[in-house]
Amino acid sequence: MRGRRISRARSTRGGALLIVLLVVLVLTIVGLGVAYFTQLEDQSSGNIRLAKTAFYAGETGLRTGEAALTQANAIGIGGSDVIQGTGTPISLPGGGAQGIPLDVSGTLYDRVVLRSGSGTSDVATYSLYVRNNAEDPGNSASPIVDTDKIVNLISVGQVWTVASTGVGGLQVPGRLLATKILEEQIRLGTPGESVAPQEGVNESGTNTGQIGGNP
């Protein structure tokens, strides 16, 4: 009789131990799942923040480029002068002519660093390029000439890690985190006027972006 009670007690303890182990296993799985999805959410939020920062950097570049082209036109530097620049051109998403670095009176708008708030872990920059609009008959000339006083302005907004602090307290870009490319047409004869894209025209390079890549 005593032997049966001992056997029954051992069986009960064994069953309770098994239940406890199963509960611990389930809680562990749930905890790992919560941690995984939290990490994914943080990563997604970080990517969205980087994309927005690159977009706003590109927008800043467009507004700066508009002012630079307007001033250049006012002093006699026309569209043909800027699209025939000597800088290294870049290929843009969507095809079309390559972008020529914007150089106005010796000022090259290449990786212009935007001032960041103190304590930030990344830095934004923009680079400006120009190319002739696809509808201009001057594209058939060699070299290409601007005959309609309309050029395409491309702004490459980028976000980088901070490598160090440079002259004037500006951060020095390190590793590339995100890129956003914006493009618009500018009518050189009217200050601040952008041209609405024509129907059916390929707006190559317009409003494209990527995370952690080069343009």
pLDDT at 182 over 70: yes
**What distance in Å separates the CA atoms of residue 119 and residue 148, rounded to the nearest whole number?**
47
**What distance in Å separates the CA atoms of residue 209 and residue 56, rounded to the nearest whole number?**
12
- Mean pLDDT, range 18-22, rounded to an integer: 82
> What is the reported pLDDT for 43?
65
State the pLDDT confidence band at 215, using cuts at 50, 70 and 90: very low
Quick one: what percent of the chain has pLDDT higher than 70? Answer: 75
**What distance in Å separates the CA atoms of residue 78 and residue 57, rounded to the nearest whole number?**
26
Longest alpha-carbon distance in the chain: 112
Paired tokens of 92: 């843009």
pLDDT at 75 over 90: no
Q: What is the dihedral of CA 198, 201, 202, 204, to 10 degrees?
A: -40
Report yes or no on whether pTM surpasses 0.75. no
Q: What are the percentages of helix, strand and coil residues in the chain, rounded to 5? A: 40, 30, 35
State the pLDDT confidence band at 7, using cuts at 50, 70 and 90: low
Which is nearest to 97 in space by CA: 56, 149, 60, 141? 141
Which residue matches tokens 């995370």?
A: 211
